[in-house]
């Protein structure tokens, strides 16, 4: 059976494979789920801040999705100091919040940016990272995003004018959206037809670290510049194939980066093969050649679980109160981030840590409990999350 050759317009595409045949065909899309989002370009953080100010002045709500937590926190602080937006109208959301604070912020976001939000959404600003893409049904009037791989930008654009509203932001049951044409404005380096190896890192250092395949980032900028619009689902295959297709032409400036990415791909594939279970013996202890303490189901950087605690009258208590207080006082961070910043926090150790581990049934060799206070110098706050000594 041979797969058919597909054109850029062949999407959505349904394939049925049986023992004897392969059936493929294009599937029509309902008009109500078709979307079109224009693309705009910004080349400095200052221009992004100006755009936020213009949106607030017009009474629009706007989100800026950043690629790194540190960049998000820094811009959040700049907006607070600039007075462009009132503090009560500004939200920060990223992955380094305790579960209690994360739930609170998610509830605020749904109230301000959710489907049923109305007048309260006017002039609101959210600075967020990729976590905003995950499961939250929010709807922004305007959006800025750091340059990211094309598939992620498509996903982020799905939070831009997601629901039909009138010009005042109130939800409509039917008809056309009365707001301005949706535009996803992307913060990116100045366009370069012949980029050098440092094309991305010189302009957006943290983004270059988060997304190390800089060639795919350049290809993303190229196809979005050429198209000028994201049309879903019509242009989905064109956009994806223009970045991830096997026949794309990568600039010579990314030759070293491309080799590193290929090396990582083959290493990841070899590692995945080592993790395969051997089903031949059936269900028994020998089902795998090795039984690591941590069995990973996907390739991702190791993370560390942290508990936040307060010392009250000499007693170790959870950061938050109420039901499941310790579970609500937990957060997870990347292992590499923790290795770099762990000395910036006060942590339980010695006998207090031993007692806590015994009470919570945790392994003392792996448990990390951070002691927090109401002082910002402790490295954690309800509004900014876990920050360490950043910006100090």
- pLDDT per position as a tens digit, 123-139: 999 999 999 987 788 99
What crossing angle do the helices spanning 214-227 and 150-157 adopt, rounded to 10°?
Answer: 50
Q: Which of the pair, 168 or 220, is modelled with greater confidence?
A: 220
Q: Which of the pair, 2 or 325, is modelled with greater confidence?
A: 325
Residue 5: what pLDDT? 60
Share of the chain above pLDDT 90, in %: 65
Task: Please tell me whether the overall predicted TM-score, pTM, comes out greater than 0.75 for this model.
Answer: yes
* Confidence band, pLDDT 50/70/90 cuts, at residue 1: low
Is the pLDDT at 157 greater than 80, yes or no?
yes
Domains observed in the chain: 32-244 (3.40.50.300), 260-299 (no CATH), 303-386 (no CATH)
**Interval 33-86: pLDDT, tens:** 788 999 999 999 999 999 999 999 999 999 999 999 999 999 999 999 998 899
Residue 275: what pLDDT? 74
Is the pLDDT at 291 greater than 60, yes or no?
no
Residue 392: what pLDDT? 40
**Interval 14-36: pLDDT, tens:** 888 888 888 888 888 777 678 89
What does DSSP assign to residue 155?
A: H
Q: Which of 140, 162, 119, 138 is nearest to 55 (CA)?
A: 140
Q: Region 307-331: what's the mean pLDDT?
A: 95
Residue 228: what pLDDT? 97
Residue 265: what pLDDT? 80
Lowest mean pLDDT among 116-125, 231-240, 292-301: 292-301
DSSP H or E stretch at residue 91: strand 90-93
Lowest mean pLDDT among 211-220, 259-268, 342-351: 259-268
* CA–CA distance, 353 with 15 (Å, rounded to integer): 56
Residue 273: what pLDDT? 81
Place of tokens 């339980």: 348
Enumerate residues 6+ apart whose C-beta is below 8 A from 24: 3, 4, 13, 14, 15, 16
Is the pLDDT at 188 greater than 60, yes or no?
yes
Calculate the CA 280 to chain-centre distance: 40
Residue 286: what pLDDT? 59
Residue 391: what pLDDT? 44
């Amino acid at each position: 059976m041979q797969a058919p050759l597909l054109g850029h317009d062949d999407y959505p595409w349904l394939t049925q494979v049986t023992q004897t045949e392969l059936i493929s065909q294009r599937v029509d899309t309902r008009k109500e789920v078709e979307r079109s989002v224009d693309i705009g370009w910004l080349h400095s953080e200052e221009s992004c801040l100006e755009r936020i100010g213009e949106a607030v002045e017009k009474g629009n709500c706007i989100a800026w999705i950043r690629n790194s937590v540190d960049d998000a926190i820094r811009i959040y602080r700049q907006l607070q100091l600039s007075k462009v937006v009132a503090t009560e109208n500004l939200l920060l959301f990223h992955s380094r919040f305790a579960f209690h604070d994360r739930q609170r912020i998610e509830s605020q976001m749904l109230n301000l940016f959710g489907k049923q939000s109305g007048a309260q959404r006017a002039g609101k600003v959210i600075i967020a990272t990729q976590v905003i893409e995950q499961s939250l049904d929010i709807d922004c009037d305007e959006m800025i995003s750091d340059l990211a791989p094309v598939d992620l930008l498509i996903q982020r654009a799905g939070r831009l004018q997601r629901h039909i509203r009138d010009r005042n932001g109130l939800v409509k049951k039917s008809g056309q959206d009365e707001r301005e044409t949706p535009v996803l404005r992307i913060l990116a380096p100045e366009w370069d037809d012949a980029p050098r190896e440092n094309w991305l890192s010189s302009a957006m250092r943290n983004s270059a670290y988060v997304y190390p395949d800089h060639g795919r980032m350049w290809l993303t900028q190229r196809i979005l510049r050429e198209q000028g619009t994201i049309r879903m689902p019509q242009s989905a295959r064109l956009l994806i194939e223009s970045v991830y297709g096997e026949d794309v032409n990568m600039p010579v400036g990314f030759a070293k980066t491309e080799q590193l990415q290929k090396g990582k791909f083959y290493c990841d594939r070899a590692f995945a093969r080592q993790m395969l279970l051997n089903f031949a013996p059936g269900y028994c202890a020998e089902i795998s050649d090795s039984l690591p303490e941590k069995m990973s189901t996907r390739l991702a950087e190791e993370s560390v679980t942290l508990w936040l605690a307060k010392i009250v009258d000499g007693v170790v208590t959870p950061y938050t109160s109420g039901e499941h207080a310790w579970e609500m006082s937990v957060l997870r961070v990347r292992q590499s981030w923790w290795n770099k910043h762990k000395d910036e926090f006060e942590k339980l150790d010695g006998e207090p840590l031993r007692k806590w581990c015994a009470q919570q049934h945790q392994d003392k060799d792996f448990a990390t409990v951070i002691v927090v206070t109401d002082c910002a110098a402790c490295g954690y706050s309800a509004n900014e999350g876990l920050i360490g000594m950043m910006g100090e």
